[in-house]
Structure 1
Amino acid sequence: MSESLKMHARLAAPIEAVRRAITDAAELRVWLAEHAEVELPRRYEFWGRYTPEGEAPHQRLLHVDDDTLRFAWLLDGVETTTEFSLRADGESTVVTLSQSHFSFEEAISGTSIRGVLQTFWSLAIANLAAHLEGQALLPKTDFTSAELRGEMVINAPMAKVYQSLTDSEQASAWFGYPIGIEPWVGGRYAMGGFEAGYAAKVIDLDPGRKMSVDWGPTGVTTWELAESDGKTKLTFVQSGFDESNPPYGAWTGSVSGLAELRRYHEMQDWQSIWLSVEMPGAQPETAAAAG
């Protein structure tokens, strides 16, 4: 699987629990897909609205053993290869996800559904981590809908959550990638930092509660905070895009990042689950921080 997307994450669960979560159909239906059927060593399939081209199962099991699961996955007419590799790391497990036929150019242009693979697996692995930790899952992307909306509850005061969403240093920490933020209407929101060249624009701001950022063709991202029994409810919405071609990749990536926002506030000694990401065609700093 040369020139594959590779994602490495440390999950807070023993290898037996991780192996069961990725091979048991009932568990797959919790963290990965709407539908799943598994009969090892012959069958490994998942499909439904939370799966790209998920109107029917398109997977073919290639190999399975105690540490590896590999399957073919037909996407946009091309048979790709996906592999989970597990390694015990004390009481934790390091999982490596390898995905062939991922193109960073397709991710940016949206010319193929394969362009969503990096953010699809980022969100899936973030939800796998939450499932194993007994946490609420993040909203899965519905690839049959043009409504991009979700919410989550964070066990932290609103003021702290707001600060972590609008302060460049904190946002860069939990998202795992430099972000430059000018938290006022007309200010810049720059993925990669202010020196990266391109910046989205803050178009609405209610200090302590709400922010909207205009990303151009992919639409406007809005998040809003509300107090919820001493915790903070975060509602996030994408709007203003071409509904015939929803920005599934960008949306899925932003949702996956919110998993670390929650862990950032709720874990005393927070560490990201992500160890590294290798993306063919992306700049090294982009690949290292993705997911």
Structure 2
Amino acid sequence: MTDPMILRVRLAAPVKEVRHALTDAAAMRVWLAEHAESDLPGRYAFWGRRTPEGDAPHQRPLHADDHTLRFAWLLDGVETTTEITLTEESQDTTVLTLSQTHFDFQDVITGASIRGVLQTFWSVALSNLADYLEGREIGPQPDFTSADLRGETVIDAPAGQVFDSLIDSDKASDWFGFPVGIEPHVGGRFAMGGLDADPSPAKIIDLVPGKAMSVDWGPAGIVTWELEDSGGKTRLTFVQSGFDTAKPPYAAWGGWLSGIAALRRYHENPGSHRFWLPAEPAA
């Protein structure tokens, strides 16, 4: 078994409010899953279309207190463990650390196990949690029962500004939280990790300034962003298509959904998109 995957975020709410959002079934049905039940210490479960293998609840609580929630989660026949800990950073901010066992990045690449979606599933969920705690509407959600990978969101910023942040390497790296190298023209490279670091970059196959861009990711399909002015705001539609519909790239789709949430925060609440923290706290 590989080392646990760890995600850390800074949330703009006190520990008590974060803990309530994590364990209140009504709140969970907003930011986490289509269906949820919580009656700790005996019951903690979530399921539905937004949850991998969400045909039924597959979670079992292991431990819960004011700062820690740990539960078992059966995925692809293996009982994994998820642990969430809350640390007070200030009176109004909380650092949340999520640890997830049985995640192997090879499953992202091969699609051999649904556990390959765990990293991006939790990335989307924590982005939703941050928005929920700030009283913001959450964005498009994954549907693990559908091969129609399509989402739409409205960003409170002009379309020109949003488009610029999609094609400018420095701005895209900022909101995505990871180096991205972009050559903004048809035939140009779109490279995760940067133009000098990605030996097999994606390719821009369509670009209409201020309106649309399509990027070909090979077997993972084509990602298309379409922008439309909406009363000074931007209606952003994004679609992933052209993949083997028998094996939808749910892990990649979750990553884009998390990125789109960050893009919206980048424009609407500058600085808040940097709520992701290094996996290990500074010494």
State whether residues 68 and 86 of structure 2, in contact with CA within 8 Å, keep that contact through their aligned partners in structure 1: yes
Q: What amino acid sits opposite 2:219 in the alignment?
A: P
Matching of residues 13-92 of structure 1 within 5 Å? 13-90=13-90, 91-92=92-93
State whether residues 104 and 115 of structure 1, in contact with CA within 8 Å, keep that contact through their aligned partners in structure 2: yes
Q: What secondary structure, in the 3-state scheme, does the structure 2 residue paired with 1:195 have? A: coil
Q: How many aligned residue pairs are there? A: 278
Matching of residues 1-291 of structure 1 within 5 Å? 3-90=3-90, 91-196=92-197, 197-270=199-272, 272-277=274-279
State whether residues 88 and 94 of structure 1, in contact with CA within 8 Å, keep that contact through their aligned partners in structure 2: yes
Q: What secondary structure, in the 3-state scheme, does the structure 1 residue paired with 2:190 have? A: strand
Q: Identity across aligned pairs (percent)?
A: 64
State whether residues 2 and 104 of structure 2, in contact with CA within 8 Å, keep that contact through their aligned partners in structure 1: no
Report the CA distance between 1:277 and its aligned residue: 3.6
Q: What amino acid sits opposite 1:111 in the alignment?
A: A
Q: What amino acid sits opposite 1:43 in the alignment?
A: R
Q: What amino acid sits opposite 2:210 in the alignment?
A: G
State whether residues 203 and 217 of structure 2, in contact with CA within 8 Å, keep that contact through their aligned partners in structure 1: yes
Report the CA distance between 1:27 and its aligned residue: 0.5
Q: What amino acid sits opposite 2:200 in the alignment?
A: Y
- In the alignment, the residues of structure 2 paired with residue 267 and residue 221 of structure 1 have an alpha-carbon distance, to the nearest angstrom, of 25
- In the alignment, the residues of structure 2 paired with residue 135 and residue 85 of structure 1 have an alpha-carbon distance, to the nearest angstrom, of 23
- In the alignment, the residues of structure 1 paired with residue 17 and residue 29 of structure 2 have an alpha-carbon distance, to the nearest angstrom, of 16
- In the alignment, the residues of structure 2 paired with residue 276 and residue 257 of structure 1 have an alpha-carbon distance, to the nearest angstrom, of 17
State whether residues 205 and 212 of structure 1, in contact with CA within 8 Å, keep that contact through their aligned partners in structure 2: yes
* CA 1:226–1:216: 2 relative to 1, 3 Å: same
Report the CA distance between 1:106 and its aligned residue: 1.1
Structure 1 unaligned blocks of 5 or more: 279-291
Alpha-carbon deviations, 1:87-139, whole Å to 9, x = none? 11111110001000010111221110000000000000000001111112121
Q: What amino acid sits opposite 2:229 in the alignment?
A: E
- In the alignment, the residues of structure 1 paired with residue 271 and residue 202 of structure 2 have an alpha-carbon distance, to the nearest angstrom, of 32
Report the CA distance between 1:140 and its aligned residue: 1.3
Q: What amino acid sits opposite 1:207 in the alignment?
A: P
Q: Mean alpha-carbon deviation: is it higher for 91-100 or for 261-270?
A: 261-270
- In the alignment, the residues of structure 2 paired with residue 2 and residue 84 of structure 1 have an alpha-carbon distance, to the nearest angstrom, of 19
TM-score (ref. length: structure 2): 0.96
Structure 2 unaligned blocks of 5 or more: none
**Regions of 4+ moved over 4 Å:** 268-271
State whether residues 120 and 251 of structure 2, in contact with CA within 8 Å, keep that contact through their aligned partners in structure 1: yes
State whether residues 73 and 80 of structure 2, in contact with CA within 8 Å, keep that contact through their aligned partners in structure 1: yes
State whether residues 153 and 234 of structure 1, in contact with CA within 8 Å, keep that contact through their aligned partners in structure 2: yes
